[in-house]
């Protein structure tokens, strides 16, 4: 039967391709040219077919093609654009695949203007689209890739036209869409591209409270949302900017808020490892912080064998912590995070860790010792490492250090470790009966339940025989004849006492180890002393402390001695004496008392050490005593001595004045006919500026800029000073001696009055009440250096100078202008000027005329004062009222005496004696006028006191006292009437420089008397003490005295 056809079969099987095919061939075909798409080894076979069917396949035969190569170039490459920023490429598959399947196509475009700007897309399709391009020419390349590699390139050029455009418009509809504790989400609508596609969106996110930038990022033009996490809870500013090829849009702002912060979330991802018997290491990752910064962690670990649990607090800033000094064993561990809102609500997952087995303790650390002369108390912290098991005790041996031949060892039944050790369960050992001043070597070994540790040696020494130097010697108090010191406790139980030395000489021994205070007496006033203290133990004395320099307080003068007669006549005696020791304050005068035992004593007040008594009786013995006076007070009266006048040779008779005075009803009616023609009456100048007289030298005080700044920093101290309760002022007055308080009284008055609340008047009333309660004789009121008398002097100048000028300035002025001749009323003092004047002048030589002059001046001034009640300052009236009430209660018969003591003794009389210090005259009076003014003041003071003259030369003037006493008392009653203030009384405006200087002075007194002041406040006002201490510590040292002298 005829052959009909052939079948030809071929197959390719490789790691990447499985291919088979069967081809029908005509019967006349005896060869076949096979073309394949893939390179490799092919297996082939053939069979024939006739009308009866198909024959058997032949055996396989094989043939391998050459290796595959890259494909040929793609065909029909075209480029198109629809705008100025995109290119679309299309092509067809290569004619030849290179013997392997086409796996991909790559299209690449390069901007001819800048070759660094290029884009590439790999795809399996035959079309790509490039967008967001710059206008201009591009070089385009496309190639196919098979398993053998890249094929041939198909290249072309293409240009994008320049189509006009601008930067994008603002981002639209920027809103917050979600809020959490640590994040929020914002979204927006696409910005208008203005002719060029949006390339990207830029976001800047700032925390508003701290102006802290959390994010500065960009997103693709298709991503119109952003979630900001993790951040802190709070308010944020979100800024979004769109960008195209022309630039950036203006930013769009939106404030976004998270939820209020809460505690951190539960921790996770905790791990623990250990490669030691005494420690393990823990690591973790931070949890969600709940919107607030993590401030720390709590680490809880439990030893499973004992169930002992421990918690450690770990600072923030680390995610790893090593727990040390633990016992060997199995631990379970969990953690919590902490922020300002508290701890995580739940512990983290529990992890377990096992340490290595226990080992031996390491060497001992932290040795210390407390020594006496015969004992040592040694202690230590423990081993550096316990080896992973609790320390059960310590083996201790000790011996005298190798420097000593003799060695001592304490033996017990302890374990035999080569030496006989003493065992102690605690890290300490107390030893008694040791050698004094000897070094001992100690060997200490720690042991746990498994092993004995490493031996550690250290030395300790017993104390020396002599005690240590005393520290902290301070002055606790000082008087004119004693001082009290204190010192720090030396903490030496073996001290048996202390020696106190003055200028290198032991003056006091205290045989009491616990007494840290000593008073040394029998000292001299106003003398420098160097005081030191040393401790002693038995016969062994320690070194003296650093010397404390002390000056004792001044005191009243020492007694007068060596009184003797210098000269005598029939009517006079002149005595002299040795100067008294001033004891730190200058002698102001001597009080010399002379009496014949039958008549009124005669008094003299010389400032030198010699005085003369005249108008004495002839042939009479007079008894003399002398007292010295300084600003502190009076000395002891000298022993009495007597001296006699000589016999009288010629006795003269002088007509008495007393009969004439008694015959006159009204003294002011007496008309004195002067020998000389009366001059024309001068005119009183206008009143001066009283400021310098009110404030004195404090008004001129100057401060550096640094001192001014320091005074400004005393505002809180000033508030305490001017507090209406006056607690600080009263406390300071309790600890400062009145004799040292002149400047304190001035400063306090100016500060209180400068505050505008009249607390200065309240302070005066307080001191009046205090002084009237303390006196036992009303005649001594305001006659001492008391706070009340000093304050009244300052206050009267502050408010009374205009009143004084209006009331008595004219009379004072006239006396200073007219009086040029001696006006003595004492015959003996008139003799002192006999060489300088013409005693034949009857006006000068007449004691009677001088007495009339005195009475006339006194009467004129008293008359003006008694007519001035209506214009007396309101403050003076309130003081007078307070005085009269207080004295009337305690001394009913002395109500007028109290007002007189204030008004005349502390105000009127001082201004008459020294008118230039009160602004009443422009210059100091002459000696003659001054003497006359002193006599006038003395006369008016006696009127105010209601007491007659004690001086013999003035006895016949006592009628003046009797004639005017009631007039003065009526005046006192007028100014002591209750005051009804119908309007606000004008306050003195204290200048700022005066207030600043006063505050500096007050602070100086606080600093100098700080210890005593704080002790007083501790007892009387602890709250004020607690408030005052930080203020005076902050202010520091006082401003130097010379800058604020008042």
Write the CA distances from 735 to 52, 495, 731, 741, 797, integer angstroms. Answer: 149, 34, 7, 10, 26
Rounded to the nearest angstrom, the gap between the alpha carbon of residue 645 and the centroid of all alpha carbons in its chain is 74
- For 700, left (φ over 0), alpha (ψ -120 to 50), or beta? alpha
User: Taken in order 842, 844, 850, 852, is the CA torsion positive or negative?
Assistant: positive
Residue 420's beta-bridge partner residues? 416
List phi, psi (to 5°) of 490.
-75, -5
- Judged against a pLDDT cut of 60, whether residue 1041 lies above it is answered with no
- H/E stretch holding 973: helix 958-975
Distant-in-sequence, close-in-space partners of 41: CB < 8 Å, separation ≥ 6: 12, 14, 62, 63, 64, 65
- H/E stretch holding 897: helix 895-900
Question: % helix / strand / coil in the chain, to the nearest 5?
Answer: 25, 30, 45
What confidence score (pLDDT) does residue 833 get?
A: 54
Q: Which of 20-29, 852-861, 1013-1022 has the lowest mean pLDDT?
A: 20-29
Q: Mean pLDDT of all residues in the chain?
A: 84
Tell me if 330 sits within 8 A of 304, measured CB to CB.
Answer: yes
Residue-wise pLDDT for 94-115, tens only, equals 988 888 889 999 999 999 888 8
- Judged against a pLDDT cut of 90, whether residue 51 lies above it is answered with no
From the list 84, 82, 74, the residue with the least C-alpha distance to 108 is 74
Beta strands, E only, 51-126: 53-54, 61-64, 75-80, 87-92, 104-111, 118-123
- Judged against a pLDDT cut of 90, whether residue 316 lies above it is answered with no
Distant-in-sequence, close-in-space partners of 235: CB < 8 Å, separation ≥ 6: 207, 208, 209, 255, 256, 257
Strands 200-207 and 342-343: unpaired
Q: How is residue 68 written in tokens?
A: 């595959």
Residue-wise pLDDT for 897-954, tens only, equals 778 888 888 889 999 999 999 999 988 999 889 989 999 999 999 998 888 887 777 7
From the list 429, 439, 538, 551, the residue with the least C-alpha distance to 492 is 538
Q: Could you give all domains of the chain from N- to C-terminal order, each with its CATH number?
A: 3-64 (2.60.40.10), 75-160 (2.60.40.10), 172-257 (2.60.40.10), 271-354 (2.60.40.10), 364-461 (2.60.40.10), 474-551 (2.60.40.10), 561-644 (2.60.40.10), 759-978 (1.10.506.10)
- Tell the residue number behind the tokens 């210390």, with chain if given: 368
Q: Which of 293-302, 392-401, 464-473, 818-827 has the lowest mean pLDDT?
A: 818-827
Write the CA distances from 767 to 117, 629, 698, 748, integer angstroms. Answer: 98, 25, 24, 13
From the list 641, 637, 640, 477, the residue with the least C-alpha distance to 557 is 637
What confidence score (pLDDT) does residue 986 get?
A: 56
Tell me if 382 sits within 8 A of 364, measured CB to CB.
Answer: yes
- Tell the residue number behind the tokens 């929020």, with chain if given: 184
The residue that leads in pLDDT, 231 or 220, is 220
Largest CA distance in the chain: 214
Tell me if 905 sits within 8 A of 941, measured CB to CB.
Answer: yes
- Judged against a pLDDT cut of 90, whether residue 808 lies above it is answered with yes
Q: Is the peptide bond before 230 cis (omega within 30 degrees of 0)?
A: yes
What SS3 class is residue 49? strand
The DSSP 8-state label assigned to residue 416 in this structure reads: B
Residue 847: band (very low, low, confident or very high) from pLDDT cuts 50, 70, 90: confident
Between CA 936 and CA 913 the distance in angstroms is 8
Distant-in-sequence, close-in-space partners of 580: CB < 8 Å, separation ≥ 6: 557, 558, 559, 560, 561, 587, 590, 628, 635
Between CA 553 and CA 930 the distance in angstroms is 34
CA dihedral 784, 787, 789, 794 (to 10 degrees): 140
The DSSP 8-state label assigned to residue 922 in this structure reads: S
What confidence score (pLDDT) does residue 666 get?
A: 34
The DSSP secondary structure of 508-557, one letter per residue, reads EEE--TT--EEEE-SPPTT-EEEEEEEEEETTEE-PPPPPEEEEPPP-SP
CA distance between the termini of the chain: 158
* Helix ranges restricted to H, 403-541: none
User: Taken in order 174, 175, 177, 180, is the CA torsion positive or negative?
Assistant: positive
pTM, rounded to two decimals: 0.41
């Amino acid at each position: 039967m005829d052959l009909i056809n052939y079948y030809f079969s071929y197959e390719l099987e490789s790691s990447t391709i499985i291919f088979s095919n069967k081809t029908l061939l005509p019967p006349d075909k005896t060869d076949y040219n096979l073309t394949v798409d893939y390179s490799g080894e092919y297996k082939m076979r053939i069979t024939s077919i006739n009308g009866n069917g198909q024959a058997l396949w032949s055996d396989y035969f094989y043939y391998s093609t050459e290796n595959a190569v890259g494909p040929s170039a793609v065909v029909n490459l075209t480029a198109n654009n629809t705008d100025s920023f995109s290119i679309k490429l299309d092509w067809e598959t290569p004619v030849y695949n290179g013997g392997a399947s086409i796996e991909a196509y790559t299209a690449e475009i390069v901007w001819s203007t800048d070759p660094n700007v290029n884009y590439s897309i790999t795809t399996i399709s035959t079309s790509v689209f490039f967008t967001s391009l710059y206008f201009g020419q591009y070089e385009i390349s496309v190639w196919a890739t098979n398993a053998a590699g890249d094929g041939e390139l198909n290249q072309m050029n293409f240009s994008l036209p320049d189509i006009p455009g601008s930067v994008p418009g603002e981002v639209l509809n920027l809103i917050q869409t979600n809020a959490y504790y640590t994040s929020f989400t914002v979204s927006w609508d696409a910005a208008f591209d203005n002719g060029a596609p949006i390339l990207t969106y830029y976001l800047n996110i700032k925390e508003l409270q701290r102006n802290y930038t959390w994010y500065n990022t960009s997103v693709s033009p298709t991503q119109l949302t952003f979630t900001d996490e993790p951040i802190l809870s709070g308010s944020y500013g979100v800024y979004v900017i769109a960008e195209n090829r022309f630039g950036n849009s203006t930013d769009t702002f939106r404030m976004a808020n998270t939820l209020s912060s809460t505690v951190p979330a539960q921790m996770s991802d905790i791990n623990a490892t250990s490669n030691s018997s005494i420690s393990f290491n823990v690591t973790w990752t931070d949890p969600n912080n709940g919107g607030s910064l993590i401030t720390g962690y709590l680490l809880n670990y439990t030893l499973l064998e004992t169930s002992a649990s421990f918690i450690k607090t770990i600072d923030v800033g680390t995610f790893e912590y090593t727990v040390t000094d633990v016992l060997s064993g199995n631990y379970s561990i969990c953690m919590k995070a902490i922020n300002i809102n508290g701890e995580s609500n739940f512990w983290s997952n529990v992890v377990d860790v096992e340490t290595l087995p226990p080992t031996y303790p390491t060497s001992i650390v932290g040795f210390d010792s407390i020594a006496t002369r015969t004992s040592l108390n040694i202690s230590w912290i423990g081993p550096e490492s316990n080896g992973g098991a609790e320390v059960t005790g310590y083996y201790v041996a000790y011996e005298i250090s190798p420097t000593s031949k003799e060695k001592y060892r304490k033996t017990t039944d302890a374990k035999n470790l080569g030496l006989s050790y003493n065992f102690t369960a605690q890290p300490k050992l107390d030893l008694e009966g040791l050698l004094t001043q000897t070094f001992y070597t100690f060997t200490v070994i720690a042991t746990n339940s498994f092993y004995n540790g490493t031996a550690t040696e250290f030395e300790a020494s017993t104390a020396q025989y002599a005690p240590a130097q005393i520290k902290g010697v301070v002055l606790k108090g000082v008087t004119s004849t004693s001082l009290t010191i204190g010192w720090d406790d030396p903490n030496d139980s073996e001290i048996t006492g202390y020696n106190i030395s003055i200028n290198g000489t032991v003056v006091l021994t205290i045989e009491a180890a616990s007494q840290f205070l000593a008073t040394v007496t029998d000292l001299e006033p106003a003398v420098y002393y160097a005081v030191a203290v040393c401790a002693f133990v038995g016969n062994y004395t320690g070194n003296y402390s650093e010397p404390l320099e002390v000056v004792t307080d001044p005191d009243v003068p020492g007694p007068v001695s060596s009184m003797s007669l210098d000269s005598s006549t029939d009517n006079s005696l002149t005595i002299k004496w040795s100067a008294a020791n001033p004891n730190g304050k200058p002698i102001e005068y001597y009080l010399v008392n002379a009496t014949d035992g039958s008549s009124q004593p005669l008094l003299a007040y010389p400032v030198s050490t010699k005085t003369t008594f005249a108008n004495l009786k002839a042939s009479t013995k007079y008894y003399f005593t002398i007292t010295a006076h300084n600003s502190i007070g009076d000395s002891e009266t000298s022993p009495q001595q007597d001296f006699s006048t000589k016999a009288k040779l010629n006795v003269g008779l002088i007509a008495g004045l007393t009969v004439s005075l008694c015959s006159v009803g009204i003294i002011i009616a007496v008309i004195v006919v002067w020998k000389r023609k009366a001059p024309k009456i001068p005119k009183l100048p206008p009143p001066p500026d009283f400021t310098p007289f009110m404030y004195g030298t404090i008004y001129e005080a100057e401060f550096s800029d640094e001192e001014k700044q320091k005074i400004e920093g005393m505002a809180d101290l000033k508030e305490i000073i001017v507090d209406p309760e006056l607690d600080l002022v009263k406390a300071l007055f309790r600890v400062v001696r009145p004799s040292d308080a002149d400047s304190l009284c001035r400063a306090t008055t100016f500060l209180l009055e400068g505050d505008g609340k009249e607390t200065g008047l309240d302070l005066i009333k307080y001191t009046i009440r205090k002084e009237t309660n303390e006196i036992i004789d009303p005649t001594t009121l305001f006659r001492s250096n008391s706070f009340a008398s000093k304050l009244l002097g300052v206050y009267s100048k502050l408010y009374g100078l205009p009143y004084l000028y209006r009331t008595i300035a004219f009379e004072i002025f006239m006396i200073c202008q007219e009086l040029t001749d001696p006006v003595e009323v004492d015959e003996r003092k008139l003799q002192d000027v006999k060489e300088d004047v013409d005693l034949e002048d009857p006006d000068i030589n007449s004691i009677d005329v001088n007495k009339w002059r005195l009475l006339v001046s006194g009467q004129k001034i008293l008359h003006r004062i008694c007519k001035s009640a209506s214009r007396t300052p309101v403050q003076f009236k309130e003081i007078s009222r307070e005085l009269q009430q207080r004295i009337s209660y305690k001394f009913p018969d002395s109500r007028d005496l109290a007002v007189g003591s204030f008004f005349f003794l502390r105000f009127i009389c001082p201004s008459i004696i020294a008118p230039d210090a009160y602004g009443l005259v422009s210059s100091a009076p002459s000696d003659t006028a001054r003497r006359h003014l002193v006599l006038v003041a003395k006369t008016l003071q006696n009127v105010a006191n209601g007491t007659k003259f004690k001086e013999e030369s003035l006895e016949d003037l006592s009628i003046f006292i009797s004639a005017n006493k009631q007039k003065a008392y009526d005046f006192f009653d007028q100014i002591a009437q209750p005051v009804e203030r119908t309007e606000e009384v004008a306050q003195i405006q204290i200048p700022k420089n005066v207030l600043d200087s006063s505050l500096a002075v007050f602070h100086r007194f606080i600093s100098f008397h700080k210890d005593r002041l704080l002790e007083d406040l501790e007892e009387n006002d602890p709250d004020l003490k607690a408030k005052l201490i930080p203020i005076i510590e902050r202010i520091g040292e006082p401003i130097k005295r010379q800058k604020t002298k008042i």
